[in-house]
Amino acid sequence: MGGEETEGGGDAPRMIQALRREHANLTRLLDLLEREIDLFDRAGKPDYEIVEAILAYCLDYPDECHHPKEDAVLAKLRARDADAAAAVGDLEGEHRELAALTRQLADSVDRVLMEAEMPRDWLTGAGRRFVIAYRRHMEREEATFFPAAARALAPQDWAEIAERMADPEDPLFGIKTEKRFEALRRDIQSLASRQADG
């Protein structure tokens, strides 16, 4: 059996800690997106550059790196403890649904930027559905999936997952932020600074 996450050492704690860090980063983005949706809902003008960057990031890093890592962990969990995996639910389906919601919202924002007619409440509703779905998904993973994987997977399982999965540099939260995400990174830092002061 794998060790609990709190025991330290081995690949299991590192992998779970990395996934949790990525969740924390995604939560910061959802907070920013929610702020922009609220502004739009009050008939204000959101920062579309920030909104587009958040959605581009969600289509890029989580869909291409974060979710595939979770899917690989789930596959190992099914092999080690089918009951625990069944209790986790259909994470892969949720990942596909989140990707579809992200594309749908990104397309809607693109249409607004091209000055297409779109009801304000439709766009705010799509944005809120996206935020709620992402938050619920991550909460379920934190509450059931990560603890079940930490309990069930053996060190060799974690080593195999780490060896198989590409782990590219995070284009926003990594050491070097890609140019397309620089404004978003500044906004995240500004929000964090305001929250620390307040």
The owner of tokens 């607004």 is 112
Q: What is the pLDDT of residues 48-77, one digit of tens each?
A: 999 999 999 999 999 889 999 999 999 999
> How far apart (Å, rounded) are the C-alpha atoms in residues 53 and 198?
26
Q: How far apart are CA 172 and CA 28, in angstroms?
A: 12
pTM above 0.75, yes or no: yes
Per-residue model confidence as pLDDT tens digits over 124-156: 999 999 999 999 999 999 999 999 999 999 999
Mean pLDDT, rounded, for 105-132: 88
Cβ atoms within 10 Å of 60's Cβ, excluding its own: 18
